[in-house]
């Protein structure tokens, strides 16, 4: 995999957007497919091919899954707002939710060089997002609203390359 994107505090820089769509879902795992279809369609609209759109879908799935599994309880699911904005160079995906507090800055990258049985639990989802997306921003407002903004550029070289896929399938 290529360089990791760092999670930066605050909102993303202002970018002129040509189109933006919004989806609101109940924070339940059965809505992950709806969220995935939504962002995959937006990615294709922005000009990404199927493989690129699937990678962006994976990044969104990790963020939304974490919000569902760790942010809300089964008895009290909340809502998650997902925005997809197309701009000249790519796509901005934003998630907003008000589940339990979460600080992605405190999440260490997983140790991939040690056996699975010796690894600490947690951090792999954020690591995957950092591998796929070019820029990631996070802010937590006083009203407990947590906002992830992720930017993927059309001409970026982050994500999994064809050579890496071939190497992994031969292992």
pLDDT digits (tens, 9 = 90+) for 20-76: 899 999 999 999 999 999 999 999 999 999 999 999 999 999 999 999 988 887 776
Q: Is residue 2 part of a domain?
A: no
| Number of structural domains in the chain | 1
Residue 92 lies in a domain: yes
For 44, what's the count of Cα atoms within 13 Å in the CB-facing half-sphere? 8
* Model pTM score: 0.82
- Kindly report, residue by residue over 114-133, the tens digit of the pLDDT: 888 877 777 788 889 999 99
Q: Highest mean pLDDT range out of 14-23, 42-51, 93-102, 136-145?
A: 42-51
pLDDT at residue 156, as a whole number: 80
* Domain that includes residue 138, residue range: 7-170
Tokens of 168: 């992994």
- C-alpha pair distances (Å), 141 with each of 97, 129, 144: 11, 22, 5
More confident residue, 136 or 115: 136
Whether 169 shows a pLDDT value over 50: the answer reads no
Here the tokens at position 10 are 């605050």
Measured CA to CA, the distance from residue 55 to residue 57 in angstroms comes to 5
The answer to whether position 1 is within a domain reads: no
Structure tokens at 51: 């493989």
Residue 105 is encoded by which pair of tokens? Answer: 């800055």
User: Is 147 inside a domain boundary?
Assistant: yes
Binned at pLDDT 50, 70 and 90, residue 1 comes out as: very low
Q: CATH number of the domain at 65, please.
A: 3.30.565.10
Strands (E), the chain: 7-9, 17-26, 79-87, 90-97, 135-140, 146-153
Is the CB of residue 147 less than 8 Å from the CB of residue 141? yes
Q: Assess if residue 96 is contained within a domain.
A: yes
**Better-predicted residue by pLDDT, 106 or 25:** 25
Tell me the CA end-to-end span of the chain in Å, nearest whole number: 15
Residue 20 lies in a domain: yes
**Positive or negative torsion for Cα 112, 114, 116, 118:** negative
Number of C-beta neighbours around residue 109 at 10 A: 12
- pLDDT category of residue 2 using cuts at 50, 70 and 90: very low
Q: Is residue 47 within 8 Å of 116, Cβ to Cβ?
A: no
15-27 pLDDT tens trace: 766 788 999 999 9
């Amino acid at each position: 995999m290529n360089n990791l994107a760092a999670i930066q505090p605050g909102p993303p820089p202002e970018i002129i957007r040509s189109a933006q769509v919004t989806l609101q879902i109940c924070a339940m795992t059965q809505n992950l497919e709806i969220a995935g279809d939504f962002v995959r369609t937006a990615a294709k609209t922005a000009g990404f091919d199927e493989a690129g759109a699937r990678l962006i879908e994976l990044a969104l799935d990790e963020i939304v899954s974490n919000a569902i599994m760790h942010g809300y309880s089964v008895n009290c699911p909340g809502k998650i707002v997902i925005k997809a904005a197309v701009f000249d160079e790519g796509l901005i995906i934003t998630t907003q939710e008000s589940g339990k507090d979460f600080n992605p800055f405190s999440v260490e990258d997983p140790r991939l060089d040690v056996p699975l049985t010796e690894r600490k639990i947690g951090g792999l989802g954020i690591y995957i997002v950092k591998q796929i997306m070019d820029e990631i921003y996070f802010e937590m407002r006083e009203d407990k609203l947590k906002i992830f903004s992720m930017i993927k550029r059309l001409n970026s070289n982050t994500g999994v390359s064809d050579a890496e896929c071939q190497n992994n399938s031969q292992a």
